[in-house]
Structure 1
Amino acid sequence: MTPMKEDYLKIIFELGGKSKKISNKQIAMGLNIAAGSVTEMITKLVEEGLAKHTPYSGISLTDKGIQIAEIMVRKHRMWETFLVEKLSYKLSEVDDDAEVLEHVTSEKLLDSLDQFLGYPTHCPHGGVIPDKEGNYQEDSHTLLADVKEGSTVVVDRFIDNRELLNYLDEIDLDIGDKIQVIHHAPFEGATTVKLIDNESKVDERQISYKAAHYVFVQDD
């Protein structure tokens, strides 16, 4: 399997494609590619029995696709954890090197890395790491963009995307932040939120339309 196909399986998995339908637009935005390229690759994944496509509804993974995605996610997120915890990489720096390392990681090396890191369950940007047997707690799939105005939520995880992580670093939004959604501007406008810190102070900021679709949250 090519690295590009593996990347598609990973992003569909990250977006919740194990249990729900994901749109071509979401995949294109997540991988920073043209929508036309997504259509072509999805056709290939369906033909190989890795994904299911429902017209006007979206794409989800088959059992075979899920199994491969879980293995790739485990490798990628394990390396991200190593790079951040042991080599002091910034979160926005880890993706490229983790991407290279995951494709050359043997099962033996992965098991040794898992033990060395103390069997981590989540990567630095909040994503779950399946264990050796494929067990893991499901990720949150509630998008910040879908939270009702007035609701208070906690930032749970970010999509693994360098551009996104750099942006979130600039606006100082982190895993575990408690935020109240104030307003979703129409026509793909920004989402305005209040950030509530541990001292109950409030800091208002705007999060772009695209970023709000790649920040996942949980109920407070």
Structure 2
Amino acid sequence: MTPMKEDYLKIIFELGGSHKKVSNKEISLGLGIAAGSVTEMISKLADEGLVVHEPYAGISLTEKGQKYAAELVRKHRLWETFLVDKLHYNFADVHSEAEILEHQTSDRLATALDSFLQHPDHCPHGGVIPSANGKFPDVTHRLLADADDGEKVELERFLDNHELLTYLEELGLRPQEQVTVIRHEPFEGPIVIQKENNDQEINVSYKASHNIFIEPDTAQENKD
């Protein structure tokens, strides 16, 4: 399987394609490619029995596609965790290294790496690490772009994309941070947010806001 096909399977997995339909637009924004290219590749993956594509409804992984994607994601995120935690890589710089390492990693090595890292359940950018049998807990698939003005949320995880992670690091944003959504600028403008206990406004681009997953601010909910 080509690296490009694998990238598609991983992005569909990360966008929730194991449990729901994912749109061409979400995949296009996640991979940073034209929508026409997405349509062509999805057709190829469907022919191979890796995805199901229902016109006007969306794309989801088949059982075969989910198993393959979970294995790739597991190995990739274990290496990202190792590089950040043990070799002290910057969390925005590990994606390309992990892309190479995941393809050279046997199941035995992945198991040993998991044990050495004491069985992490999340990678540095907040993504869930599937277990050896492909199981993983339910996670939110709500995007920062979908948050309401005035809503307090937690930045749960970021899509695994070097350009995105570099951009978010420059903005000073990390997973598990609490922020307030101030406003959505019109015409696909940025989402303006503020960190907890900080009055400085941060502009998050329209594209990036579709690559950041959020969940309700539980600390705020408990306070209320």
TM-score when scaled to structure 1? 0.95
CA distances 1:122-153 after superposition (whole Å, capped 9, x unpaired): 00000000111223222221100001111100
Aligned length: 217
Q: Counterpart of 2:86 in 1: which secondary structure?
A: helix
- Report the counterpart of residue 7 of structure 1 in structure 2: 7
**Following the alignment from structure 1 to structure 2, what is the Cα–Cα distance between the partners of residues 16 and 135?**
14
- Report the counterpart of residue 222 of structure 2 in structure 1: none
Identity %: 56
CA distances 1:30-89 after superposition (whole Å, capped 9, x unpaired): 222232221111001111111111112221111111111111110110010011111111
Question: Pairwise CA RMSD of aligned residues?
Answer: 1.2
- Report the counterpart of residue 179 of structure 2 in structure 1: 179
Structure 2: gaps (5+ residues):
218-224
Matched, 1:26 2:23: no
**Following the alignment from structure 1 to structure 2, what is the Cα–Cα distance between the partners of residues 208 and 96?**
23
Q: Pairwise mapping of residues 130-169 of structure 1 onto structure 2 (< 5 A)? A: 130-169=130-169
**Following the alignment from structure 1 to structure 2, what is the Cα–Cα distance between the partners of residues 186 and 17?**
29
**Following the alignment from structure 1 to structure 2, what is the Cα–Cα distance between the partners of residues 156 and 137?**
14
CA distances 1:169-196 after superposition (whole Å, capped 9, x unpaired): 1111111111111111121111011211
Q: Which letter maps to 1:167? A: Y
| C-alpha contact (below 8 Å) 1:127/1:139 kept by paired residues | no
CA distances 1:98-140 after superposition (whole Å, capped 9, x unpaired): 0011111101111111111111100000000011122322222
Q: Which letter maps to 1:19? A: H
TM-score when scaled to structure 2? 0.93
**Following the alignment from structure 1 to structure 2, what is the Cα–Cα distance between the partners of residues 53 and 133?**
26
Structure 1 outlier segments of 4+, above 3 Å = none
| C-alpha contact (below 8 Å) 1:128/1:138 kept by paired residues | no
Structure 1: gaps (5+ residues):
none
Q: Which letter maps to 1:186? A: P
